[in-house]
Structure 1
Amino acid sequence: MAVDIFKNKTTTPPRPSLFDFHGVSMTHSFTDNWEKVQNFQARSDDILIATYPKAGTTWVSYILDLLYFSQTQPDRQRSTPIHERVPFLENQSQNHSSGTDLADSLDSSPRLIKTHLPVQMIPKSFWEQKCRVVYVARNAKDNAVSFFHFDRMDLSQPEPGDWNSYLQRFMDGKMLFGSWYDHVTGWWERKQSHPEIHYMFFEDMVEDTGREIDKLSSFLGSNSTAAAKEQIRDLVQFDNMKKNDMVNYSSYETMDFKISPFMRNGKVGDWKNHFTVTQNEQFDEDYKKKMKNTTLQFRTVV
């Protein structure tokens, strides 16, 4: 069911504008609390979920929440929305507690915290505490399409414009949280020297969710049984998550589900329904230049 956007207001606030913030395109929702974000005190057992926007953040957040708390705190799944269970560290939106305050108020162990920040902006305490980090990356074409539809429906995001201009902006890196290319490669390079980073691919999760849950469990040292992991695999299937009001963001005020659902497609290869032949050729040529110096490789079909 669609939510009533910005309840009790006769007009919706204007969309925010992007501005350059330490070399990364941002909006005030993610910079106004910057000092508290940078000074955030991580704990050694915190788990940071890091992604470029629309790369499977909620999916992995839900998997981790189930791995750690489905047996010990079953009510948590039925009563508390995922954005409260897994605070968005840098978020400072008007109608919600700041991400830092939410994270500080968590009494769970471990605390699950999510971020879209590029690697160079992560608060230093996460590195000092040697926190485990789960990074999820999604191929650029599907990521661009998903981000476009999200920007259309989330009225707290910058105005997306038409698809052609949006795709050009994606290629130019003029996106909220910066360049996709810089984001995925920056975290990939950091992973090479930081064994506490587990780098996952959205496409692998779609291909075999159970296998990726097993890998995640192994990285985290989880003692979940095979039966528990199988139950988690079923709960986190896209169609089940889309119907689950505790994870589908249906209660979030700024999202207009009449435009597009928060969980829209969840597949690999939807880009083929959006890219023209010319757009695809231009994108591929640009992609080769930007990704020529990395060992990081993606699949655009599964």
Structure 2
Amino acid sequence: ILLPQFSTGISPHSLVDFNGISMTRVFTSNWENVQNFQARPDDILIATYAKAGTTWVSQILDLLYFGQTERQKTLPIHERVPFLEVYLPPNMSGTEQADNLPTSPRLIKTHLPYQLVPKSFWEQNCRVVYVARNAKDNMVSYYHFNRMSYGQPAPGDWNTFFQNFMEGKSMYEILWQEADLSKNSLHVLLYLADTEREIDKLCSFLGLSPSAEEKKMILGGTQFDNMRKNYMANYSTFPLMDFKISPFMRKGKVGDWKNHFTVAQNEEFDEDYKTKMTDPTLEFRTTI
């Protein structure tokens, strides 16, 4: 697999400090176009940390607005819901994909922290769907994604990845600022919670009233096992991923972190989490 080449000469998957955030050239080399991106009032921005349920909520929203049409069968999810800041020259630019979307509303995803999201989304008062996942399972899922994605920094073994993650030597930021979660134009979904309940809350936020039959279709189309088998949703058509190492959609369960964390790592993580999340407005389940 050939990695994209950039004029800087820096490896596209090498981490760089970008406005205080660890990023790679895959997400910074098109920055002027990202920051100047012109949002529309009916755009819906899907904001997540990587591997926190982005594809799941993208599929939910796509089915809610456009149903099981031919585009669901012929266009992979990364074309239906473009990744705003991704830049893989010469063939992929998230901003160009978003600009060329024929749908209304446009569904656009980002992993950018709040302060780096293009201002036009706030100026247009766009609705934002933020997906949150318990950080332990998120870390494990992200580790396996780093293993199989050629666009990510090499993670090393689990212990190395864990330490780098704890020291902030990983991509992006794990959560938006707590204060930002109270915005009227922002809705929070909890990944791996009660899907039907989360869809009902999402519909209330968006002003949608799907029929019982439509809700049944959406629930079926967004079940983890069904999405994992769906070539248009499981990212098997996306370049730069090695499914021989790990599938993009791996387990989709709460509590898999227990198969990776040592007792000492769990204690270290809990202590750090308490320090950084002194007054959280979100409560997560780490076990079922």
TM-score range, shorter chain: over 0.9
2:7 match: none
Shift, 1:221, TM fit: 0.8
Shift, 1:288, TM fit: 1.1
1:190 match: 180
Gaps in structure 2 of 5+ consecutive residues? 4-9
Alignment of 1:2-17 (within 5 A): 5-6=1-2, 16-17=13-14
**Of 182, 205, 217, which aligns to 1:219?**
205
Residue 44 of structure 2 aligns to which amino acid in structure 1? Answer: I
Alignment of 1:196-235 (within 5 A): 196-204=185-193, 208-235=194-221
Gaps in structure 1 of 5+ consecutive residues? 8-12
2-side partners of 1:267 and 1:6: how far apart? 32
- Is the deviation greater in 131-140 or in 286-295? 286-295
Residue 263 of structure 2 aligns to which amino acid in structure 1? Answer: V
Residue 174 in structure 1 maps to residue 135 in structure 2: no
1:10 match: none
2-side partners of 1:293 and 1:63: how far apart? 30
1:90 match: 85
Total equivalences in the alignment: 282
Residue 117 in structure 1 maps to residue 116 in structure 2: no
CA deviations on 1:79-103 (whole Å, 9 max, x unpaired) are 0000000000000013532000000
Shift, 1:294, TM fit: 3.3
2-side partners of 1:248 and 1:165: how far apart? 28
2-side partners of 1:69 and 1:296: how far apart? 30
Q: Percent identity?
A: 63
2-side partners of 1:209 and 1:294: how far apart? 22
The answer to whether the 8 Å contact 1:210/1:230 transfers is no
Residue 38 in structure 1 maps to residue 35 in structure 2: yes
Shift, 1:253, TM fit: 1.9
- Is the deviation greater in 109-118 or in 271-280? 271-280
Alignment of 1:61-76 (within 5 A): 61-70=58-67, 74-76=69-71
CA deviations on 1:170-194 (whole Å, 9 max, x unpaired) are 11222111x31xx24x1x32122x2
1-side partners of 2:188 and 2:35: how far apart? 23
Alignment of 1:115-194 (within 5 A): 115-177=110-172, 179-180=173-174, 183-184=175-176, 186=177, 188-192=178-182, 194=183
The answer to whether the 8 Å contact 1:45/1:131 transfers is yes
Residue 61 of structure 2 aligns to which amino acid in structure 1? Answer: L
The answer to whether the 8 Å contact 2:60/2:218 transfers is yes
CA deviations on 1:138-177 (whole Å, 9 max, x unpaired) are 1110000000000000011001011111111111222111
Shift, 1:6, TM fit: 4.0
Shift, 1:240, TM fit: 0.4
2-side partners of 1:241 and 1:77: how far apart? 12
Residue 56 of structure 2 aligns to which amino acid in structure 1? Answer: W
2-side partners of 1:38 and 1:198: how far apart? 23
2-side partners of 1:96 and 1:138: how far apart? 31
Residue 59 in structure 1 maps to residue 53 in structure 2: no
TM-score by length of 2: 0.94
1-side partners of 2:64 and 2:141: how far apart? 26
1-side partners of 2:254 and 2:163: how far apart? 21
SS in 2 for 1:203: coil
